[in-house]
Amino acid sequence: FLKALEPPPLDAVIEAEHLLRQINALDRNNELTKLGRILAKLPLEPRLGKMIILGCSFLIGDAMCIMAAASCFPEPFEMYGKRLSWKHRSFAGERFSDHVALLACFNAWEDARMSGDDSEVRFCEMKQVSMSTLRMTWEAKNQLKQILINEGFPEVCLEWQTFNNCGPDSKLDVAISLLCIGLYPNICIYKEKRKVICESRAALIHKSSVNCPFGNKDCTFPSPFFVFGEKIRTRAVSAKLISMINPLQFLMFTPCSVFAHQDLVKVDEWIPLKMKFQTAANVVALRSAISNLIVRTTSEPELILDPPPEDRELLHIVQQLSEITAAGASVNAQEALQSFRSDGPPPPKFYRGGGHFNRNDGYDFRGRGGYHRDYQGRDGYRGRGRSYGRGGYGGFYDHRGRGGYRGRGRGQW
């Protein structure tokens, strides 16, 4: 680094070395370990690469590659309002996770793509997602998988799988746990409305998140703890790409500091946990076993398909502790979802000036009716009857919206 034309700041170099030692990518002689050499070949942040490698041990390498690749590009969801629509939120199921929503959306798109180009286009139009973003994610995912296969990882651990985001699924639980490796120290605690606490500082849930509440209302989550991809600063600081976790998951998979403070367990000096000290100590003790598992996985990838008994037991314990209810939950997922939509899902939103066919059976992007006088107007589809939207794409015809937004008479949605 220091021989580059514009060398990075010395502080950045020291911080990078500390990170590589922390994830066991550097040995005591500042030489790359086997894990470090693999991470150097992956075009990702080291933590995300380590997340994928451990995912291969649980035979969910494909899902972790998708999540890691998707985090490098803009979200594929096309927003036509201030919040994601319910057709986008439905991809998260009962998981309260933007990463699960991205995974489910990608798998559904890939399934549609297998049926041909027309099916792919219909899917993207119906679900309002960006085809170009999904295709870039697909190429990045395949690049990551090919690098791992070239390093000797079995193809079986990188095969495509289905997940149940609306019910119990141990593999999806583990995938969410592994996000703690890739995203630490980005942890936040939900407080109220859109407000979360990140490292003792207030922030907001980004409006593009599936966890962002509608309007100015409080929501209830089974767990108040989340990991997030990045913080965005505009008028306020917002946490983007957030996924709900339980505290056992980040105790297991992150190098966070843990100590007793009065009758609480304090994590990183700002996260208070009410749990038994011995329980916290037992969970933290699993870190060394997980680190040893990663060393064996990178040194002998063929052991992934036939792990020794102690590794099988470890994998089973991690699966159990990764369940969202493993640390207890104040409400179940269905009750939590109701807090988002106590009065049912919002009505579908239409473009301002939703287009219609005119009296001459032509698509003229004009029209009358719509939101005026109790959402009622005389002209709608084919010139008469019920109006749908703000009177016919008025704004797109002459940039003034002739007719469209000031309809007359009565009609209805």
pLDDT digits (tens, 9 = 90+) for 101-136: 999 999 999 999 999 999 999 999 999 999 999 999
| CA distance readout (Å), 38 to 12, 52, 289, 299, 307 | 22, 11, 20, 10, 20
The tokens describing 321, both together, are: 């502790």
Q: With 50 as the cut, is the pLDDT of residue 378 above it?
A: no
Question: For residue 378, what are the domain limits?
Answer: 351-413
User: Count of domains in the chain?
Assistant: 2
Q: What's at 257, amino acid-wise?
A: S
* Dist CA 252 CA 176 (whole Å): 12
Q: With 90 as the cut, is the pLDDT of residue 352 above it?
A: no
Give DSSP secondary structure letters for 119-140.
HHHHHHHHHTB-HHHHHHHHHH
Among 125, 147, 180, the domain-final residue is: 180
The tokens describing 234, both together, are: 């505009």
The tokens describing 54, both together, are: 């451990």
Among 180, 202, 227, the domain-final residue is: 180
Q: Is residue 120 part of a domain?
A: yes
Q: Is residue 262 part of a domain?
A: no
Q: Is residue 168 part of a domain?
A: yes
What backbone torsions phi and psi does residue 203 show, to the nearest 5 degrees? -150, 180
Q: With 50 as the cut, is the pLDDT of residue 246 above it?
A: yes
pTM: 0.81
**313: Cβ–Cβ under 8 A, 6 or more apart, which residues?**
none
Number of H helices, E strands in the chain: 16, 8
Among 123, 146, 180, the domain-final residue is: 180
Q: Is residue 329 part of a domain?
A: no
Q: Is residue 115 part of a domain?
A: yes
Give DSSP secondary structure letters for 144-195.
HHHHHHHTT--GGGG------TTS--HHHHHHHHHHHHHHTT-EEEEEETTE
What backbone torsions phi and psi does residue 230 show, to the nearest 5 degrees? -160, 165
Q: Is residue 101 part of a domain?
A: yes
- pLDDT over 70 percentage in the chain: 81
Q: Is residue 279 part of a domain?
A: no
Specify the length of the chain in residues: 413
Q: Burial letters for 373-399: b for 16+ Cβ neighbours within 10 Å, e otherwise?
A: eebbbbbbbebeeebbbbbbbbbebee
* Dist CA 362 CA 30 (whole Å): 72
Higher pLDDT, 358 or 315: 315
